[in-house]
Structure 1
Amino acid sequence: GETDSEHFFSLFHNILHTEYESATLENMKSALLKAIKTISDMQNDIGKGDYSLLNTVITDGEQLIATRYTTANAEKQESLYYTFGEHILPQIGNGLMQPVESGKVGAVLIASEPINEKNEEWIEVPRNHIVIVNKDLEITVEPIKI
């Protein structure tokens, strides 16, 4: 690959499969954080004053991790949002969710911007945080510490 996204994914994939025996959610998270740290360290070593904007979403089809990370100042950052519900309302479209009434989340969406007019249903991921969604669709948001 030639894009920065392909290079970053290759770095993540290499870390995951050389340093860990399996691709558990915790191992995926650790490998992703190591990849982010590697990029940040490389930028610091080169010292060009550039910055990274690393919004990522990685999944194995059953669980996922997503990051909103930047080495830039507050004005230069990408956004990331998530929403959840019992299920997506396909008849309405635009990512609208059935609110959780049964106590069980059945769908999670992650996007760079809210994709419908129900902005109050979208939760902004704070700058330099990771979103973790496990197989039971339990959502955790943690600060990225590298």
Structure 2
Amino acid sequence: MLNLKGYSISILIIISLAIALSILVAIWLWGLIENYSMFEELRISSSTINPTKDSWIIELHVINTGSRLAVIDNIFINNMPLEKYGDRVKDLTFNGSSFNYKTGYSLDIGQKVIIRFKLVRESFKSGLTIQVRIRTRRGNEYFRDIKLP
């Protein structure tokens, strides 16, 4: 007569490991699917230009219409980062607060922000069309062409 007691315990251990491994794989796959189904999308709903004696005050109204948090890390004018313009572009604010290039500005799902900055008239003449681009940490870019009056 054969002793099958050792085989039944080892089969039970193998089946338990297979079940545990399949649960871990299912959780991992769910994380992948959820990560790829979420997307980042900003919409520039409107822009305004307020001329003053020595500058153009530009306002961009931006909303996060995506399904994940978006972090704005830079603003570009005509493909050049705002900080490279020096004194020709001033007072960059997000909802009235100054912008920190190191931390960026986080926009939750559905959150709105007003981005405001000044362009010095000496460098940006009337009739000029500028492209303002917003870049996020994920590398997505959203732009709007603005014609200075």
TM norm. shorter chain > 0.5: no
TM-score normalised according to structure 1 size: 0.26
Instruction: Select the structure of larger CA radius of gyration.
Output: 2
Looking at both structures, which has the greater relative contact order when contacts are Cα pairs under 8 Å and sequence separation is at least 6? 2
* Structure with the higher strand share, 1 or 2: 2
